[in-house]
Chain A
Amino acid sequence: MKELLWLIPTLPFTGALLLILLGRKLPRFAVSLIGAGSVGLAALITILVGIDFNSSSENSFQQIVWTWIDVAGLKPQIAFHLDALSLVFIFVITFVGFLIHVYSTEFMQDDEGYARFFTYLNLFVGSMLILVLADNLVLLYFGWEGVGLCSYLLIGFWYLDEKNGYAARKAFIITRIGDTAMAIGLFMLFKAFGTLHIQDILTQAPQTWTVGSEEAVFIAFLLLGGAVGKSAQLPLQTWLPDAMAGPSPVSALIHAATMVTAGVYLISRMHIVFELAPLAQMWVGIIGALTLLLAGFSALTQFDLKRILAYSTISQIGYMFLALGVGAWSAAIFHFMIHAFFKALLFLAAGAIIHLLHHEHDIFKMGGLKNKLPTIYWTFLIGSASLAAIPFITGGFYSKDAILWLSLAGEKGNVGFFLAALIGAFITSVYTFRMVFVTFFGTEKTHVSHSAGSRMTIPLIVLAALSTFAGFIELPHSIAHVELFSNFLHPVLPTITLQEGAESKEWIVQLIAVVVSLGGVYLAYYFYIKKPELPDQLKTSSIAFHNFWFLGWGFDTAYDTLFVKPFVFVATINKQDIIDRLYDELVKLADFLHRVFAWTQSGILRWYMVGIVVGAILIVTLSLLVGS
């Protein structure tokens, strides 16, 4: 069955192609069948391939489709590489992707761009699959940029509003800055190894470089640049909050299953390079730690439901980067998977709420939805619990707990990382339950027109189940000895070594984590249920902070004044092209000379005579002078 691997990315692309060709002529039913069906099939094949892969003894499986380019040693192929890491990713992508597709069939029901939407969605899933299955970095880059394109198309999906177009463009350009760094990294890798085949690089790297060798550090930083752009980490995180301009299922897809996790994938895929470059790896952790804090604080102040979730995504990806930074590879991937489930759930639920409330985004204009929309309430609550890492019953607890623990006890961990993660966890549970309490409790402020249909609720329920139970496949040592996930990933990603003697303290860290997340919930409860007037007082007393956080720590403004405005200014004043003006001066000079000489041709005979006489006299004088 493994031979069907090539079908997994091909199916969504075929779906997209069919929709491009026939989309506008087909009825909606057929469009949904092609759009969701192709991804569903891909998910099915993923399961088959996964079962086959698990039962075989080999750790990886290659499939070459055709040779893409073959010039002077650069020979990237259209070829797929399946191992545990990519299997986890394609599973999440196809499965969550499929659920989002199903959800969209109802969500987008009345949109005139129905076929267009599913075309983009399929392209998106297909590109992401290419990204994670690629066996060489050029093909990975293909998927990488394809994802960028699709995010551009989807964020700007409602093109009638120009702002959406600008948000889309911002996303594309900012991620492209990261991509540029990554591309340079690829050039360096090719120069160093003469190949861009990932497995070859990974086997050759430890032989070529010593730990901390300059070239490895450079390359790791450049790859990190790419990852930072796609995963919306500092300092390139500004595009993600604006990306909310797209329809909600798109946000779910971008945030959960695709796009933003690409950076996490890249770093874990190239983990050997990062292990050879400790400095770069440390920076992965630092960036992760800073991002999770910054984004968390920003999330506290937002009132747009989707923006809260957007900042929480940035923050959660920050956790993954932190885990990667301390070398907790499988913990990062584990958190990626759980995060994919609960974040998709939250976005889809949020989308449903916004949809049912006539496109109301402001959580303070919602309220009291608990009884009106029970299914959405319960699923949203489960998702939020997972995000806030409510102990023992949620998947989020197990995945985040692992990161907290390893950021302290891991070989490369330290107290700074741990504290950042801990504070982050506290903030996370505060803003998460702030969102829950404000949206679902209290009095009803906007009337709910109708309830969501089954195509919207079933994906929610499935995702709620997944985000709860998926956590149980990897339990901390202090509770039970279940390591299904890290054992599964072990052939690809090395297990982390702990600091000496740390093992015994694990339960203390867990206890702290439990207290922190529950404390966060209580704080949110105190502020928004018990004393609802408190937040406003706090807000007015520290309005400067509030605004600063609300605007995402002023990054947008800073970039605007530092880069965008100067660029646009230079572009605008130079619209006429200064070099062309030089040629204009040349033309003017010629024109001036022309005028001067034309003036001597006065047409008056006697002038010419004067000329002749003067000339003759000059010549005679000169010849006399020279002759004597």
Chain B
Amino acid sequence: MILLWFIIILMAGGIVAWIVEKWNADLSRWISFLALAVNFVIAVMIWSQHDFMLAEPNSIWIADYAVNWIPIFGITFHLAMDGLSLLMLMLTFFLGMLSVLTSWKEIQFKIGFFHFNLLWVLAGITGVFLTMDLFLFYFFWEVMLIPMYFLIGIWGHENRRYAAYKFFIFTQASGLLMLLAILGVYFIHGNVTGTYTFDYFQLLNTPFEPDTARWLMLGFLIAFVVKLPVIPFHTWLPDAHSQAPTAGSLILAGLLLKTGAYGLLRFVIPLFPDAAHDISKWAMLFGVIGILYGALLAFSQTDLKRLIAYTSVSHMGFVMLGVFAFNELAVQGVVMQMITHGISTGALFILAGSVYERIHTRDINQMGGYWSKAPFMGFIAIVFVMASLGLPGLGNFVAEFLILVGTWNSSHLLTILATTGLVGATAYSLRIMQRIFYGTEIKSSHPFVDLSLREKAMMVPLVLVIVWLGLFPQPILNTSKIPMMKVVQTQSKSKQESVALDILNNKEDSKGGDHE
């Protein structure tokens, strides 16, 4: 039931925030913030009270909620939460609160509608992270799409229309492929077993013909890799990120991309273990290309937000690489990467937003030497630039190191290439510091002031979280351990069933030997 409340609070909060704008615009900010804060507190409470290391296989689901929705078609309103979902939810609500805070000064018109959209995107994301019904999943997938379109299209920068369309078409087109695949899974499962259902758990062990499985998996895969994004489907991202308002970029980079990664872990691999294994080398290859190509593009950008956007392409390459390496190290690294990238890139976008508020440009050629004016901002920037280049002690290092160590088992060449991506990351990350903070100050008509109290209130928790993740990642890793082991197992189960049988037989043989 609590799971339903997560979504209801957000949706209702959004409607209320829209309505109260008539009386007081600030009130709608406060209501949005409050709704997210309540959710965040609940999520953290659940997290702190639950023991994730219990070895019982049933304890993987912390909460489960199911009611019939459209029983004729086998559609249920089924929400369930395991460690992975919970981590993603905490991230969602945390970044959600920050996105309200960062829009406090930036958004000055249609405030109520803005917050309505913001909360509904977050509600959609929450739904995506919780649903265990494919139909409902598709529903929430669309719910998070449309408000995001408005966020970019209405409150964005100069080229917002173009960016919003591009975002919409990419996601919608790929989403339709996923819908087709969902229907395919639904009918095949119905044909085979006689029960027509969209329920995730029942669909999990559907047997597919290898060819069918490949096509159906591609349907899901494309939807998720477009969101992630993986080259060559990444081109919506720099436009959407750079044109969206700060809160929009924050949610896009911090959360929307993660729904793609989440989908890979939750649907693609468990539903189609064999098919996923067949394409794993290619998927990893595209991940590596993404890492290197994203780094190259990030290095050349002059638009600060575009630069940060391309760093996301590069970082998400690691996710793709790790997911398809199919071992616990890499997959756990992927979970860390999802969280730490959300934090660090989110922080960089907030910084970019702060800079934009001050000098009204995103062109890094018109920036420079702000360290003396804004030392606090410089310090924060150092932290997140370092996080982005994977400095040990900050969360991103743990993630990338785990992914790379894990990937080494799958492919040496790809790991080596991906590791050289770290040099690229250094090049583009330091470019941010160099252009904005080094050199003599470039005077503009607007005085450059250091971070305000509100901005500090956003950045300080982010710094603490990224350092905490870097030094004490174990609580997070424990939380996702069992779900991730299941993911890895489903993969290896099908592949190694014969091997396992052999081992069992051998054991029995040896036992028999003992008896004799």
Residues in chain A within 8 A of chain B (CB atoms):
20, 24, 66-72, 74, 78, 116, 138, 141-142, 144-146, 149, 152-153, 156, 159-162, 164-166, 169, 172-173, 176-177, 179-180, 183-184, 186-188, 190-191, 567-568, 570-572, 574-575, 577, 579-580, 582-583
Give B408-447 as 1s and 0s: 1 = Cβ < 8 Å from A's Cβ atoms: 1100000110011011001100110110011110000000
Please state if B423 and A165 are interface contacts (CB–CB under 8 Å): no
Residue of B nearest to A145 (CB): B392
Q: Which chain B residues in 323-379 approach chain A with CB under 8 Å?
A: 327-329, 332-333, 368-369, 371-372, 375, 379
In the complex, what residues of B have CB within 8 A of residue A173's CB?
423, 426-427, 430
Query: Does B494 sit within 8 A of A, measured CB to CB?
Result: no
Please state if B422 and A183 are interface contacts (CB–CB under 8 Å): yes
A142 and B422 alpha carbons, distance in the complex (Å): 15
CB distance from A118 to the nearest CB of B (A): 14
Contacts A72-B329, A183-B422 given; does A20 touch B379 at CB 8 Å = yes
Please state if A575 and B301 are interface contacts (CB–CB under 8 Å): yes
Please state if B398 and A69 are interface contacts (CB–CB under 8 Å): yes
Residue of A nearest to B295 (CB): A571
Please state if A574 and B471 are interface contacts (CB–CB under 8 Å): no
Interface of B: prevailing SS: helix
Please state if B419 and A574 are interface contacts (CB–CB under 8 Å): no
In the complex, what residues of A have CB within 8 A of residue B389's CB?
176
Interchain residue pairs with CB less than 8 A apart (10): A66-B472, A67-B474, A71-B333, A74-B329, A145-B392, A160-B440, A162-B438, A574-B296, A574-B300, A575-B302
Contacts A160-B369, A165-B439, A575-B300 given; does A72 touch B327 at CB 8 Å = yes
In the complex, what residues of B have CB within 8 A of residue A172's CB?
426, 430
Instruction: Count chain B CB atoms within 10 A of each CB in A152, A183, A188 and give the residue with the most.
Output: A183
Contact of A164 among B408, B409, B438 (CB under 8 A): B438
In the complex, what residues of B have CB within 8 A of residue A153's CB?
382
Please state if A571 and B391 are interface contacts (CB–CB under 8 Å): no
Please state if B296 and A571 are interface contacts (CB–CB under 8 Å): yes
Contact of A146 among B301, B393, B434, B438 (CB under 8 A): B393
In the complex, what residues of A have CB within 8 A of residue B393's CB?
142, 145-146
Query: Does B284 sit within 8 A of A, measured CB to CB?
Result: no
Please state if A583 and B235 are interface contacts (CB–CB under 8 Å): yes
How many residues on the B side are at the interface (Cβ–Cβ under 8 A)? 59
A72 and B94 alpha carbons, distance in the complex (Å): 29
Contact of B426 among A161, A176, A571 (CB under 8 A): A176
Please state if B423 and A177 are interface contacts (CB–CB under 8 Å): yes
A184 and B414 alpha carbons, distance in the complex (Å): 11
New contact pairs (12) apart from A68-B471, A153-B382, CB-CB < 8 Å: A68-B472, A70-B474, A71-B333, A72-B328, A78-B471, A138-B401, A141-B392, A146-B391, A162-B368, A164-B438, A184-B419, A579-B231
In the complex, what residues of B have CB within 8 A of residue A164's CB?
438
Please state if B296 and A152 are interface contacts (CB–CB under 8 Å): no
Residues in chain B within 8 A of chain A (CB atoms):
231-232, 234-235, 238, 296-297, 299-302, 327-329, 332-333, 368-369, 371-372, 375, 379, 382, 386, 389, 391-393, 397-398, 401-402, 404-406, 408-409, 415-416, 419-420, 422-423, 426-427, 430-431, 433-434, 437-440, 471-474, 477, 481
Please state if B405 and A179 are interface contacts (CB–CB under 8 Å): no
Please state if B232 and A579 are interface contacts (CB–CB under 8 Å): yes
Please state if B238 and A71 are interface contacts (CB–CB under 8 Å): no
In the complex, what residues of A have CB within 8 A of residue B472's CB?
66, 68
CB distance from B431 to the nearest CB of A (A): 8
Please state if B438 and A187 are interface contacts (CB–CB under 8 Å): no
Contact of B477 among A69, A162, A571 (CB under 8 A): A69
A74 and B328 alpha carbons, distance in the complex (Å): 10
A173 and B296 alpha carbons, distance in the complex (Å): 15
Residue of A nearest to B386 (CB): A149
Please state if B474 and A68 are interface contacts (CB–CB under 8 Å): yes
A141 and B390 alpha carbons, distance in the complex (Å): 12
Contacts A145-B391, A187-B415 given; does A74 touch B402 at CB 8 Å = yes
Residue of A nearest to B480 (CB): A71
Residue of A nearest to B378 (CB): A159
In the complex, what residues of A have CB within 8 A of residue B434's CB?
162, 165-166, 169
Please state if A160 and B439 are interface contacts (CB–CB under 8 Å): yes
Residue of A nearest to B170 (CB): A583
In the complex, what residues of B have CB within 8 A of residue A162's CB?
368, 434, 438-440
Please state if B300 and A180 are interface contacts (CB–CB under 8 Å): no
Residue of B nearest to A164 (CB): B438
CB distance from A259 to the nearest CB of B (A): 15
A572 and B296 alpha carbons, distance in the complex (Å): 9
Residue of B nearest to A564 (CB): B427
Contacts A146-B393, A149-B391, A152-B430 given; does A579 touch B234 at CB 8 Å = yes
A180 and B397 alpha carbons, distance in the complex (Å): 13
Contact of B297 among A78, A145, A177, A571 (CB under 8 A): A571
Please state if B420 and A180 are interface contacts (CB–CB under 8 Å): yes
Contacts A145-B391, A159-B369, A180-B420 given; does A71 touch B332 at CB 8 Å = yes
By Cβ-Cβ distance, the 10 closest A-B pairs, closest first, are A165-B438, A571-B300, A142-B392, A162-B439, A187-B408, A72-B328, A580-B235, A575-B300, A176-B426, A169-B430
Residue of B nearest to A165 (CB): B438
Residue of A nearest to B433 (CB): A165
A571 and B393 alpha carbons, distance in the complex (Å): 30
Please state if B235 and A187 are interface contacts (CB–CB under 8 Å): no
A425 and B238 alpha carbons, distance in the complex (Å): 56
Instruction: Count chain B CB atoms within 10 A of each CB in A68, A160, A571 and give the residue with the most.
Output: A571
In the complex, what residues of B have CB within 8 A of residue A187's CB?
404-405, 408, 415, 419
Contact of B232 among A70, A161, A582 (CB under 8 A): A582
CB distance from A77 to the nearest CB of B (A): 11
Residue of B nearest to A143 (CB): B392
Contact of B371 among A159, A180, A191, A572 (CB under 8 A): A159
A169 and B471 alpha carbons, distance in the complex (Å): 26
A159 and B372 alpha carbons, distance in the complex (Å): 9
In the complex, what residues of B have CB within 8 A of residue A177's CB?
423
Residue of B nearest to A76 (CB): B401
Instruction: Count chain A CB atoms within 10 A of each CB in B297, B302, B402, B440 and give the residue with the most.
Output: B297
In the complex, what residues of B have CB within 8 A of residue A71's CB?
328-329, 332-333, 402, 477, 481
Contact of B422 among A66, A72, A176 (CB under 8 A): A176
CB distance from B237 to the nearest CB of A (A): 10
CB distance from B337 to the nearest CB of A (A): 13
Please state if B391 and A74 are interface contacts (CB–CB under 8 Å): no
In the complex, what residues of A have CB within 8 A of residue B369's CB?
159-160
Contacts A173-B430, A183-B422 given; does A69 touch B402 at CB 8 Å = yes
Residue of B nearest to A186 (CB): B405
In the complex, what residues of A have CB within 8 A of residue B297's CB?
571, 574-575, 577
In the complex, what residues of B have CB within 8 A of residue A191's CB?
408-409
Please state if A70 and B426 are interface contacts (CB–CB under 8 Å): no
In the complex, what residues of A have CB within 8 A of residue B439's CB?
159-162, 165
Residue of A nearest to B400 (CB): A183
Instruction: Count chain B CB atoms within 10 A of each CB in A71, A116, A177, A187 and give the residue with the most.
Output: A71
In the complex, what residues of B have CB within 8 A of residue A145's CB?
391-393, 397
CB distance from B384 to the nearest CB of A (A): 13
Residue of A nearest to B376 (CB): A24
Please state if A577 and B329 are interface contacts (CB–CB under 8 Å): no
